[in-house]
Amino acid sequence: MNKSEIFADGFWHNNTIFAQLLGMCPLLGVTTSAENGFWMGAATLLVLTGSNLVVSMVRGVIPKNVRIPSYITIIAAFVTIVGMAMNAWMHEMYLILGLFIPLIVVNCAILGRAEAFASKNSVSDALMDAIGVGLGFTFALVLLGGVRELFGQGEFFGFNVFGESYPDVLMFILPPGAFIALGFILAAINLINRSIASRAESRAQADALSKDIPATVEAQ
């Protein structure tokens, strides 16, 4: 796989949320607004980049039997560093995200990338994978947070969209709204993927047809 394929795979085709449905806990927990989703995604992206880089660097050095505890230690170290940095320089957001920052340690998506990709690929490929997967995760969180904020409070990134008279739809802010919004987003993503696939198929057929025609003409 080349670099852009690795990126596209992590960002879209194997998106943590939309394709694998992993990392549901932070997804549903913090996405009450687009901004919360963005910073949670950014924190996860940082941790994933760090852990993928280090795991790729030490591949072949760490004995197979202790690789999981080693990876978890590496991931936990990065999570704690990101948490402390946020506490110091983004204090308010740190208080909002609260427990979900330390919980990045157990985001199975991160250990999953370390085990399934970074431990088997070069450092530059692992970096590209981390950026693709991390941005894909951030995209998903911002999308879901944006939808919930828009319909729940009539705002997007804190800016009023629907005007002051918009009646807040409480359900979108509460956890059930997260599930419902996620369901509709997943349906939309599947529609997009299907239309891409069918368009590619019809193009392939058209190509095949245009090749066939001169052949048949010659045959006659």
Partner 1 sequence: MMKLDKDQIRMVIALFVVAAIAAILLATTDIITREPIAAAQKAALRQALQQVLPEHANDPQNDKITLANNNTVAVIYPAKDSAGHIAGLAWEVVAPDGYSGSIRILVGVRPDGSVFAIRVTRHQETPGLGDGIVKNHAWLASFVGQSLGSRIWKVKKDGGDFDQFTGATITPRAVVKAVKGALEFFKQQKTAIFARLASAKMNHQAGGAHE
74 binds partner 1 (CB under 8 A): yes
60 binds partner 1 (CB under 8 A): no
Nearer to partner 1, 92 or 164 (CB): 92
Task: Yes or no: say if 37 and 142 are a contact pair by the CB < 8 Å rule.
Answer: yes
Q: Report the alpha-carbon distance of residue 95 to residue 39 in Å, rounded.
A: 12
Q: Which of residues 18-47 bind partner 1 (CB under 8 A)?
A: 32
CB of 15 to partner 1, least distance (A): 27
CB of 65 to partner 1, least distance (A): 6
CB of 63 to partner 1, least distance (A): 5
Rounded to a whole number, what is the largest CA-CA distance in the chain? 79
Comparing CA positions, the residue from 46, 14, 24 lying closest to residue 141 is 24
Residues found in the chain: 220
118 binds partner 1 (CB under 8 A): no
Residue 89: CB atoms within 10 Å: 9
Task: Yes or no: say if 189 and 18 are a contact pair by the CB < 8 Å rule.
Answer: yes
H or E element that contains 155? strand 155-156
Q: Which of residues 139-178 bind partner 1 (CB under 8 A)?
A: 152, 168, 170, 173-174
Residues that bind partner 1 in the complex, under the rule CB under 8 A: 32, 58, 61-63, 65-66, 69-70, 73-74, 76-77, 80-81, 84-85, 87-89, 91-92, 95, 98, 152, 168, 170, 173-174
